Amino acid sequence: MEEIHSDIAHSIPQRPPWRNVMLLLGLVLLGMSLGNLLAMAAIMALSMPQGGMGLEDVSQMLQNPQQFPNSWWYLMLLQAISHLFTFLIPGVIYWRWSEQHRVEEFVRRPLPSYLLLAIALLIVLVFMPFNSWIIEWNGNLHLPQGLQRIEEWMLRKEDELATMTRFLTNFSTGAELIVALVVIAIIPAVGEEVLFRGIIQRKIFHKIGDMHASIWATAALFSAIHLQFYGFVPRMLLGAMFGYMYAWTRNLWTPIFAHFINNAATVVIVFLSHQQVINFDIEKSDSSVSWIVALISLALTAGLLLNLKMISQRSAAINGI
């Protein structure tokens, strides 16, 4: 089983697991704080020609972005910087500092074959109907009566995130589409996969030696950190799907590509709806996917994942990996 993650596992200095956890957590928290500070400083600097914004103005913009000019661009900048400093940069620093890997080892790694990338793309697209069905089911869950206050807090948090999502996806020009693809699709795909699959999943696997447990534990953490409780299960399933892609292809570019396709598909669909090319409402919570379609989607997804596994194993055997 050890060879599953041997793509980036060289000789790693043995440290107590708690030290690695604390180091990575510390880097993520530090990066999150620095990222937010840098993003706010950048927004204040860029807003100076229009009279300038102070810290209080930036805070109010986060609550009511519709009341501020150019707020869509400022919030996209904030999202990009915050995400880079929360996920990608801490991951790269940890990778370089704790494990003595060079960034070039990842950047110069050959991409998966076109066949594997095509299968990964199909997996993401075929999985969408089942995931839509799960999104509706998860959104209708309720906590027991004794946990009503927690549920109310979760609903408030969900409403806040939904409001921000609606605002950030309210774009209709080509320039806004490009920015949205970079900020919503490219940056999260690289940053989150480097941190969660490339580091956390691999570290858990090295510790417990169980591929499936490491994949699902990482997927649960991946979903929890997004703080969208009524989308926890569908996001966890996505994380597990990315985890199996990484484990079976032994190439981090595979889940990065799949993650990008998943996010970019939503961005493009929203753009086309604003262009009135298709009829799609991002605020619509109810799903038109029947359970039969959902089961077919799940079966096709499982079949394609197994096909991805077999092709990856065959390729590894041929190349003597």
pLDDT tens-digit map of 59-112? 888 888 888 888 899 999 999 999 999 999 999 998 887 777 666 666 667 888
Return mean pLDDT, the chain: 85
Q: Which residue did the predictor score with more confidence, 291 or 155?
A: 291
The answer to whether residue 148 scores a pLDDT higher than 70 is: yes
**Nearest-angstrom CA–CA distance, 117 and 257:** 7
Q: Which residue did the predictor score with more confidence, 276 or 130?
A: 130
CA count, 13 A, side-chain hemisphere, 247 = 27
Residues in the chain: 321
Res 320: pLDDT: 53
**Nearest-angstrom CA–CA distance, 161 and 150:** 17
pLDDT tens-digit map of 210-238? 999 999 999 999 998 887 788 899 999 99
Q: With the C-alpha atoms ordered 248, 254, 256, 260, is the resulting torsion angle positive or negative?
A: negative
pLDDT tens-digit map of 167-189? 888 888 889 999 999 999 999 99
Res 261: pLDDT: 97
At a CB cut-off of 8 Å and minimum separation 6, what does 290 contact?
Answer: none
**Nearest-angstrom CA–CA distance, 106 and 54:** 40
**Domain with 97 in it:** 2-318
Q: Is the pTM of this model over 0.85?
A: yes
Structure tokens at 189: 């795909």
Q: Out of 57-61, 134-138, 152-156, 304-308, which region has the weakest mean confidence (pLDDT)? A: 152-156
Structural domains of the chain, count: 1
Res 214: pLDDT: 96
At a CB cut-off of 8 Å and minimum separation 6, what does 187 contact?
Answer: 80, 83, 84, 88
The answer to whether residue 166 scores a pLDDT higher than 90 is: no
**Nearest-angstrom CA–CA distance, 77 and 192:** 18
**Nearest-angstrom CA–CA distance, 257 and 10:** 24
